[in-house]
Amino acid sequence: MVLLKNVSFGYGDSLVLKNCSLRFESGEVHLIVGPTAAGKTTLALLIAHLMKPRSGRVVFPRGKIQGVRKEMGFLFQFPEDLFFKESVYEEIAYGARKHHLERIDEQVSRVVELVGLRDEILSGSPFTLSEGEKRLVALASILVWEPSWIILDEPFSGLDWETRKRMVTIIESLKGEVGVILIAHHSNDIIECVDQLTLIVDGKIVCSCPPREVDWDVVFEAGCDIPYAISVSKKLRENGINVPMEYTISGLIQALKK
Amino acid sequence: MIRVDSLTIERGEKVVIRNVSFSWHKGENLILLGPNGAGKTTLALSLSGILKPASGDIIIDSRPVSAYGLTSLRQKIGIVFQDPETQFVTTDVEREIAFGLSNIEENHEKIRGRIDSIIDELDLKDMLNRDPAELSGGEKQLVAIASIYAMSPDYLIFDEVTSFLDRRTRERIYRLWDECSSSLLIITQDFEEIRWGDRVILLENGEVNFESSIQSLMEKDIIPTQKALFKKLLKENKSDIPKFEEILEIL
């Protein structure tokens, strides 16, 4: 579990986060949504102990900073900009070496299979890959040291449809083992496997609850996307078909069968 | 009209665009789709005269792209990049928006009028005195769009400009697409955006794999939009859904 207790943070004079309290359960997928400039990335950086709050506390179970570095992986926006090794293999292996893991080959093979990369790209340069492959290499280079938490900042942006689907499959496969804290403005890609959704607006937590309990009108009003199934549920209700407000397509189909 | 004929583009040793031909008519909006690495951005850079092809022709309104001077080319065709920071050159938003236009237009009143109308249209009043570098991602993208749009190019390319934006900011851009008099080429990974096009071109491995009018694609539900995916699932479960026909009608 990771806890944020009354956390505030600012750049210069302006406060970007105001008195935020949140709880992230281990092994769950936690989606953070909010309009542009709401403070989402800042929140993620604080959770990862990459910045210190101005006031309040970020409580990580192991307590010590060395623990956080080992236990928490952070996939930045445009993570491919941070590549610095000559081969894909070395780029991925770097994370394993940094954390003094043994049997590097085995660890690299494991994550290459997990994220679904082709073996033949391992000896090539990471810089010549497509954007989709680059993103998967960046993710593999974090998963290789088996962190118990990963933070993904807009992992779907700029990716094609196939790679977005792959990313969702990877996140689904991590569920239960790894706590995933995910920042995204398109919830459609991922909503089916989200356990907890937090809406942040203007540096304040507006709600944090399971998707089933979310008031989607509030999310929409904040300038964010709402799941397609919610828009359809709404439209059907307006046209006299009585369905519950379902947030997943599969849930909506089930509800329509009754 | 822009006519692309047997275009091949190389980057380093790699052939990124291979023997591509298509036309882009005035008044027509094109949607350029394709997986990551297909060559969409490379093609866009070449169309706008930034990247020189290895062979083949790009003819803009009867003249080869290479025959235009920079000023006249920017009046013909503009491009907004996915990463807006790559195109900022000044330190305040108002000057940034005016920069391109003041390079192609000398009349100050005209510049002022155009800039004011764009500030109004994209609702940028509150950020005019700020440094573009200090804006949020969405705000940066709006400023980048405004600065290119200010030059009123006949043809305007948007290279995945909405992929990092929230719904409200995207809607401001969609409104501009609705009202814009330029012919648009929209590169996107968001299938919901194909409705702003008249025709789709699918690029794969540097080649045009498929071309179709948007209308026929929509009718066949080929593009995996959320609606098409939902309709497919609905049809698969048709026999178990009592109000199937009625629901299909409402969608």
Q: In what side-by-side order are the strands of the sheet with A72-75?
A: A72-75, A149-153, A179-183, A29-33, A196-201, A204-209
In this prediction, residues B104-111 reach a mean pLDDT of 86
Same domain, B208 and B160: yes
Q: Cβ contacts of residue B34 below 8 Å, gap of 6+?
A: A160, B40, B202, B203, B204, B209
**Contact yes or no for B207/B15 (Cβ under 8 A):** no
Q: Which residues 199-258 of chain A have a CB within 8 Å of chain B?
A: 220, 223-225, 228-229, 232, 235-236, 239, 241, 249-250, 252-253, 256-257
Which positions in chain A touch B169 (Cβ < 8 Å)? 35-36, 223
Strands A196-201 and A204-209: antiparallel
Q: What is the mean pLDDT of chain A?
A: 91
CA distance B21 to A54: 57
pLDDT at A62 > cutoff 70:
no
Q: Do residues B176 and B92 both lie within one domain?
A: yes
Residue of A nearest to B137 (CA): A36
Q: How many domains is chain B built from?
A: 2
- Contact present, A19 and A6 (Cβ < 8 Å): yes
Contacts of B139 in chain A (CB under 8 A): 36-37
Mean of the pLDDT values across residues B82-87?
80
Centre a 10 Å sphere on the Cβ of residue A188 and count the other Cβ atoms it contains: 21
User: Does the distance separating the beta carbons of A158 and B224 come in below 8 Å?
Assistant: no
pLDDT of the residue at A82: 83
Helix (H) or strand (E) holding A103: none
Residues B166 and B239 in one domain: no
Cα–Cα distance for residue pair A153/A139, rounded to 1 Å: 11
Same domain for B90 and B130, yes or no, is yes
Do B95 and B181 belong together in one domain?
yes
Same-domain pairing of B227 and B212: no
Residues B226 and B202 in one domain: no
| Residue pLDDT, tens place only, A141-190 | 999 999 999 999 999 988 898 899 999 999 999 999 999 999 987 788 89
Among all residues of chain B, which has the CA nearest to that of A239? B250
Percent of chain B whose predicted confidence (pLDDT) is above 70: 100
Inter-chain CB proximity B230 and A239 less than 8 Å: no
CA distance A91 to A117: 13
Which pair of tokens denotes residue B170?
A: 């995207």
The closest CB to that of A130, out of B37, B168, B240, belongs to B37
**Which CATH architecture is the domain A2-214 placed in?**
3-Layer(aba) Sandwich (3.40)
Is B82 an interface residue toward A (CB < 8 Å)? yes
Give the Cα separation of B230 and B251 in Å (integer): 10
Two structure tokens written together for B157: 């390319």
Whether residues B55 and B162 fall in one domain: yes
pLDDT one-digit tens code per residue, B172-219:
999 999 998 999 999 999 999 999 999 999 999 999 988 889 888 877
What does the angle CA B185 – CA B186 – CA B191 come to, to the nearest 5 degrees?
145
Chain B contact for A125 (CB, 8 A cutoff): no
- CATH number assigned to the domain comprising residue B73: 3.40.50.300
My answer on whether B131 and B192 are in the same domain is: yes
**Residues of B with CB below 8 A from A36's CB?**
136-139, 165-166, 169
**Encoding tokens for residue B78?**
């503009």
Judge contact between B250 and A241, C-beta under 8 A.
yes
Q: Are residues B229 and B158 in the same domain?
A: no
Ranges of each domain in chain A: 2-214, 227-258
For residue B146, what pLDDT is reported?
Answer: 94
SS3 B140: helix
pLDDT in tens, B39-78: 999 999 999 999 999 999 999 999 999 999 988 999 999 9
Reported as a single tens digit per residue, the pLDDT across A211-239 is 999 999 999 999 999 999 999 999 999 99
Say how many CB pairs under 8 Å bridge A and B.
101
The tally of CA atoms less than 13 A away on the side-chain side of residue B21 is 4
Domain of B129, in residue numbers? 2-220
pLDDT at B130 exceeding the cut of 80: yes
Q: What is the pLDDT of residue A47?
A: 93
Per-residue pLDDT tens for B14-44? Answer: 899 999 999 999 999 999 999 988 999 999 9
* One domain, residues B118 and B205: yes
Q: What percent of chain A has a predicted confidence (pLDDT) above 90?
A: 71
Question: By three-state DSSP, how is residue A99 classified?
Answer: coil
